[in-house]
Amino acid sequence: MELAPAPNQAGWDLLVNGEPYNVKVGTTSSEREKLEQAAKRAAAAAAHGLATFIQEETRDLMTWLEEQAAILRGLAEKVRVEMRRLGIRPADG
């Protein structure tokens, strides 16, 4: 059994042992509404998941940036101390 597209009519042509059968697929308005609502719920769930992921990643990135800034502040102070030891006045005092 195989499905072949039926470009000239709605639905599909179904071939069973080489014999074509026309299959019409239709939905009632309540079925369409249920499908649309299911699609909306799935899209909302995906959007919520993505928003949560972005928030968590942003929080992690901010933590990492703060850690890096602390490391750089420490290194900058070491450079200033070494410059003073060598008799060089740092530009920031």
- The DSSP-derived string for 25-93 is ----HHHHHHHHHHHHHHHHHHHHHHHHHHHHHHHHHHHHHHHHHHHHHHHHHHHHHHHHHTTPPPTT-
Q: What pLDDT is stored for residue 31 in this prediction? A: 80
SS3 5: strand
What is the structure's pLDDT at 81? 94
Element (H, E) at 16: strand 12-16
The whole-number pLDDT of residue 56 equals 98
Q: Is the pTM of this model over 0.75?
A: no
Tens digits of per-residue pLDDT, 69-92?
999 999 999 999 999 999 999 887
Residue position matching structure tokens 């509404």: 33
